[in-house]
Structure 1
Amino acid sequence: MSKGILLTGGSGLVGSKLTKLLLDKGYAVSHLSRKHGNDPKVKTYIWDVSKWQIDERCIEGVDTIVHLAGASVAGGRWTNKRKKEIIESRTKSIGLVYQLLKRKSHQVSTVISASATGYYGDRGDELLTEDSAPGSNFLANCCLQWEHAVDIGESLSLRVLKLRTGVVLDAKGGALSKLAAPVKFGLGSPLGNGKQWIPWIHEQDVINLYLYSIENDNLSGIYNMAAPNPVTNKQLTRAVAKELHRPLWLPKVPAFALDLLLGEMSTIILDSQKVSAQKIEEAGFKFQYPTLTWALKDIYKKDINK
């Protein structure tokens, strides 16, 4: 009998593609969502984290919970209200699930949660492993609280796995589409000094790594989810321009201009994180797209064909 997988955030960029992969592999997939979905193959259970409400049937037949829910960090300026929403959408949501597991009989054995490389803050050229200390800015604090909330599952005798995700490359959404938009019009340029490291990862490797985590019970703890060959912002911008056959002629966008435009949220663009993939590779995971060149060729090949 195949495992039952419950996803929070299942309708998002990663969640929707992971859902398709899991269905193709024969898993029974269900979602926790604020509204009913349209896929008849996926059971949707309603929850409202702000009201501490959850359909208790959601954990029936479930072995593994994949926690992807969370408000977009780039969805608006970081007011105090917005910061609270970003953190609580991640921490309170998994807390609501754990409260349900405490009071209702279940067969859940594993919780796999997203986290982010934002955990490390702005670290220049330092090579960052899972043992590196956290940063001190808002994103680092958000990731700390996120991971601590997920860790409560260990007290429930669950296998807990946290994947610190880098910049997911996908032509149809996320950071790459925003970076590529001005490049397509010949208006692209590196951001800040262009020397900040980008912990990128191809979308296919993201969902493959979630599947690998589900299917390998020996994995637990923290793993970086980033390709083994990080690049700088300047290198990424140049690679995108080359793949799109567009020139780069404008000067770099200075950091102070980004600070004025985005406020504290500019750290998303300006923080430098040179993240190591050694631990997950030593655990046996094989990246399908280990280099940026391969990743971009695949992404834009798909984009053109569509």
Structure 2
Amino acid sequence: MAQNVLLTGGSGFIGKHLTNVLIDAGYSVSVLSRSNKENTPEIKYYNWDLNKNYIDENAVLNADYIIHLAGEGIVEKRWTEKRKKAILESRTKPIDLIFSVLEKHNKKLNAFISSSAVGIYGAVTSHKICTEETPPADDFLGTTCQIWENAVDKIEAFGIRTVKIRTGIVLGKDEGFLKKVNPSFKSGFGAVLGTGKQYLPWIHIEDLCQIYCKSVVDDKMHGPYNAAVTDNTTNSRFSKILAALYGYAIWLPKVPPFILRIGLGEMSEAILKGQRVSSEKIQKTGFEFQFTDLEKALISCIH
């Protein structure tokens, strides 16, 4: 009988792609959903409601692995205090709810794999290359990611292998980061944001899904892994390559930082700043990126 992988956030951009990859790899997939969905031959749906602290315990009890992808979008809305709370709790509450079922029934998973983000290193621009040993930053993104990852530690202490995938900007066809920026670039109005010198750690959706799959099968993997290509991509470089693929050179002036700060508030820091990250640790597991050239990655996403 196929081993079962339970996904939180299974209906999102990454979750939908990962579901297909897991099914192709021979796993059965189940998904926690807030709405009543009919099961398909390939996917079984279970209900949960974070606001009511409710979860169908069978979802957890029938799982061999759990991959936690759920969470409110970081740059979907302005960072009010209410929004910040929602961003954090949408990531930590699912872990607490799942752990309560594991503890109640003394259920041992083969592994619990949680998404995280390279934002743990903070909204900072420097030439430093951050490794998994780099201390978390004390800004909102850094603190949120640290609390998020710390919530996973109780599952590890329960005797379950845990993996934390610190993800960069995910590139996919008409989805993720490109879904936000592509319309303006496609119409000829692409622009560099701020100084353009901020680094933009990125990863192609196909590579990210393969990292998750490897974290399932490789029982030597544990702890945090950076999931982003180690290169020198800045906002300026990214913008110029994307514009060129649409047949033009950027002609608009750079969008001044103060404009973004007025429009986005504190959230603008996540756009105006960024560091490089090292992919050495994940590569040492034997993982090989399919997409390491930004231009080729973008071509695969827009054509």
On whether the aligned pair clears a TM of 0.5, the verdict is yes
Shift of 1:180: 2.3
CA deviation vs aligned residue, 1:194-233 (integer Å, no higher than 9, x gap): 0000001111111111111111111001100101324000
CA deviation vs aligned residue, 1:142-196 (integer Å, no higher than 9, x gap): 1011000011111110001001000001231222222222111221111000000
Q: Is the 8 A contact 1:10 1:68 kept in 2?
A: yes
Paired with 1:55 and 1:290, the residues of 2 have a C-alpha distance of 40
Q: Which residue of the partner structure matches residue 212 of structure 1?
A: 214
State the AA in 1 paired with 2:120: Y
**Residue 157 of structure 1, aligned match among 153, 156, 159:** 159
Q: Is the 8 A contact 2:108 2:159 kept in 1?
A: no
Shift of 1:109: 2.2
Paired with 2:30 and 2:180, the residues of 1 have a C-alpha distance of 31
Q: Which residue of the partner structure matches residue 26 of structure 2?
A: 26
Q: Which residue of the partner structure matches residue 282 of structure 1?
A: 284
Paired with 1:60 and 1:133, the residues of 2 have a C-alpha distance of 35
Q: Which residue of the partner structure matches residue 86 of structure 1?
A: 87
State the AA in 2 paired with 1:74: V
Shift of 1:107: 4.2
Alignment of 1:19-98 (within 5 A): 19-38=19-38, 40=40, 41-98=42-99
Alignment of 1:1-20 (within 5 A): 1-20=1-20
Alignment of 1:129-148 (within 5 A): 129-148=131-150
Shift of 1:2: 2.5
- Name the SS for the 1:196 alignment partner: coil
Q: Which residue of the partner structure matches residue 304 of structure 1?
A: none
Paired with 1:13 and 1:45, the residues of 2 have a C-alpha distance of 19
RMSD value, Cα: 1.3
Q: Which residue of the partner structure matches residue 120 of structure 1?
A: 121
State the AA in 1 paired with 2:199: W
Q: Which residue of the partner structure matches residue 101 of structure 2?
A: 100
Paired with 1:289 and 1:246, the residues of 2 have a C-alpha distance of 24
**Residue 254 of structure 2, aligned match among 245, 252, 255:** 252
Q: Is the 8 A contact 1:183 1:246 kept in 2?
A: no
Alignment of 1:222-261 (within 5 A): 222-261=224-263
Paired with 1:189 and 1:245, the residues of 2 have a C-alpha distance of 14
CA deviation vs aligned residue, 1:47-70 (integer Å, no higher than 9, x gap): 111211111111233111000011
Paired with 2:32 and 2:77, the residues of 1 have a C-alpha distance of 24
- Which runs of 4 or more aligned residues in structure 1 lie more than 4 Å from their structure 2 counterparts after TM superposition? none
State the AA in 1 paired with 2:48: W
Q: Which residue of the partner structure matches residue 292 of structure 1?
A: 294
CA deviation vs aligned residue, 1:63-83 (integer Å, no higher than 9, x gap): 110000111112211111111
Q: Is the 8 A contact 2:230 2:276 kept in 1?
A: no
Match status 1:168 vs 2:164? no
Structure 1 range deviating more: 171-180 or 131-140: 171-180
Q: Is the 8 A contact 1:5 1:63 kept in 2?
A: yes
Paired with 1:38 and 1:125, the residues of 2 have a C-alpha distance of 49
Paired with 1:152 and 1:106, the residues of 2 have a C-alpha distance of 14
Q: Percent identity?
A: 43
Where do 5+ consecutive residues of structure 2 fail to align? none
Structure 1 range deviating more: 52-61 or 214-223: 52-61
Where do 5+ consecutive residues of structure 1 fail to align? 302-306
State the AA in 2 paired with 1:298: S
| Residue correspondences, number | 301
